[in-house]
A = this chain, B = another copy of it.
Amino acid sequence: MSKLKETRVSTKPVFKGRLLDVRLDEVRLPNGKNTTREYIIHPGAVVMIPVLPDGNIVLIRQYRYPMGREFIELPAGKLDPGESPRETADRELEEEIGYRAGKLTELVEIHPCIGYSNERMWLYLAEELVPTKTNTDHDEFIELLPMPVEKAVDMVWAGKITDVKTIIGILWADRLLR
């Protein structure tokens, strides 16, 4: 067994909302002492790098209430109950940007918030995009921002794109597509 491992002593739900499921656990540390850990139970999420036929990738602009401002992001979304990451990627691509992907390639799994959430994120390259009749999700307020990968990379290093999943997706796109 790892000498860094922390063992659960007890667990308690402390808030359950529409989005957040917050737990408070008592845990035993490697030195035998007890402490508490507070964290979010998350269903997992997908992030897509949509590549248009002209080579541009599709970024989106949306308002992020916890931060109180708009962000430039890659399309992304949470897994619904029973859904696989690939199914979520298909659904969210259509809901958020109005395309279906002929080719969807899983690139990597990343972890955005290991200090206080169990969220896992799967990153997909979405190619062979075909527009669908379905318009973008009526509950989502989103602007599309197609741009060359080179421009997105410049915005990462200039600190103008700061959302972590988007930074990592753009740098993967740069590595694969440039």
Q: What residues of chain B lie closer than 8 Å to A38, measured between beta carbons? A: 17-20
Residues facing B in A64-94 (CB within 8 A) are 64-68, 70-71, 73
Q: What residues of chain B lie closer than 8 Å to A56, measured between beta carbons? A: none
Q: Are B30 and A163 in contact (CB under 8 A)?
A: no
User: How far apart sit A19 and B118, CA to CA, in the bound complex (Å)?
Assistant: 15
Interface SS of chain A: mixed
Is A137 on the interface with B (CB-CB < 8 A)? Answer: no
Residue of B nearest to A121 (CB): B164
User: How far apart sit A168 and B166, CA to CA, in the bound complex (Å)?
Assistant: 11
Q: Are A143 and B70 in contact (CB under 8 A)?
A: no
Q: Are B40 and A65 in contact (CB under 8 A)?
A: no
Q: What residues of chain B lie closer than 8 Å to A142, measured between beta carbons? A: 4
Which residues of A approach B to under 8 Å, CB–CB?
2-6, 14-15, 17-20, 22, 24-25, 27, 29-31, 36-40, 61-68, 70-71, 73, 108-119, 141-143, 157, 159, 162-165, 167-168, 171, 175
Given contacts A19-B116, A39-B65, A64-B115, 18 further A-B contacts (CB under 8 A): A4-B70, A4-B141, A6-B63, A17-B36, A20-B116, A37-B65, A64-B114, A66-B114, A66-B116, A67-B114, A67-B118, A71-B114, A108-B159, A110-B162, A110-B163, A113-B113, A113-B164, A164-B165
